[in-house]
Amino acid sequence: MNTANKPDNMPDHCDVAIVGGGLVGASLALALQPSALQVALIEPQAPAAAPVDGAWDSRVYAISPGNAAFLQDLGVWSRLDPQRVQRVETMAIAGDRRDSRLQFSAYDAGLPELAYIVESGAMQRAMLEVIADSNGIRMICPAQAAGLAISEQSAQITLADGASLDAQLVVGTDGRDSLVRREAGIDAAISEYRQSGVVANFNTEKPHHGTASQWFRDDGILALLPLPGNRVSMVWSTNEEHTQTLLALSAESLAEHVAEASKGAVGQLQRITPAAAFPLRLAHVARLIAPRLALAGDAAHNVHPLAGQGVNLGFRDARVLAEVLACRAPRQDCGDLTLLRRYERARREDIASIAISTDALQKLFGSKSVLLSGVRNFGLGALNQLPVLKNLLIRHAVA
């Protein structure tokens, strides 16, 4: 990995400074490579080591086929171990009534798969390997952005160690508590779900047949995502009290509890990674851009994980921003606001539709009202009978 190597307080220059080397920031750095821009990627955390003895990462993501193709183009996908990537062929969603079920199948939609389940750490390591092999990206790690000043001519990032970096454009991919967003004075409307996503992986008694299953329950939304072999990864989005209960259970009790809640869909379970919880919220930013600045990934939006779309939205941000910068006029400044407006316009609808639909579903299924319960169960059953609408939803999800 390339690391910063310059005297303290000496201003340095690049075309695009990306603050935050998580999945979205790292993918953007790679996507900018064909534009021959000088890119710096600032990240405080050294990459996590590969798991020992083939252990499974409890953070896994459903990645859309469109984003898998993007990662393929970046040279990242081919570095993933295919034995550890699972194709999702069916999605099954159950409401709180026996007859309320919705099923999407890749076969019915004429697609090879609906999504891939990939370990977060494996994707991150693959990206950092490709970055280390590239010549055009300067990885500044470990380093933390501590301040930002924007003038007409350039943007200047101050690092926590006092060093600074000048750029034509700063992109904030520094996650949900983005310093870049704060320093740029961009407001975010944040509403806490007062829920966490509790994750853990399990061995299963029965095969999952490539099905990602979801149960909308009184105590939240339970999802079991298929992993290679007889394994699944759980995301249980649930209130704080139930989160604490789940975290306090022994491995055996949690496995029993999840097997029961999932109605034995994959038989008995055996927990293979400790449970961990991540607080959930909805965040909507007033603007995605400012002069010499753009936001992408969780710095720009936080959505409920029930549709597995957070990082997918972030990858689509990276794809569009890279395309906009690649198509700029010769010698056009990358921080030019007219250019950045194209990025903002192109991203608004996708971000808003995912945020609104996941929030509405979460509220509909989180409600204790008898009327809403009827509506949601009727809605799932009715939608299941409408192949055209189902196909429309699938086309959006696989982008």
String marking each residue 179-218 x if it binds ligand FAD according to CB under 6 A? x-----------------x-x-------------------
Query: Of 25, 121, 226, 335, which one interacts with ligand FAD (CB under 6 A)?
Result: 25
**Stretch of 38-46, 98-106, 349-357, 362-370 contacting ligand FAD, by CB under 6 A:** 38-46
Can residue 175 be called a binding residue for ligand FAD (CB under 6 A)? yes
Q: Which residues ranging from 331 to 360 are in contact with ligand FAD (CB under 6 A)? A: none
Can residue 61 be called a binding residue for ligand FAD (CB under 6 A)? yes
Query: Of 12, 15, 298, 344, which one interacts with ligand FAD (CB under 6 A)?
Result: 298
Tell me how far apart the alpha carbons of residues 124 and 119 are, in angstroms, rounded to a whole number.
Answer: 9
Query: Of 20, 95, 220, 226, which one interacts with ligand FAD (CB under 6 A)?
Result: 20
Query: Of 47, 65, 210, 305, which one interacts with ligand FAD (CB under 6 A)?
Result: 305
Q: Which residues ranging from 254 to 293 are in contact with ligand FAD (CB under 6 A)? A: 278
Can residue 220 be called a binding residue for ligand FAD (CB under 6 A)? no
Query: Of 47, 95, 310, 366, which one interacts with ligand FAD (CB under 6 A)?
Result: 310
Q: Which two tokens stand for residue 86?
A: 């699972």
Query: Can you give the binding site for ligand FAD, defined by CB under 6 A?
Result: 19-25, 42-45, 61-62, 144-145, 173-175, 179, 197, 199, 235, 278, 297-298, 305, 308-312, 314
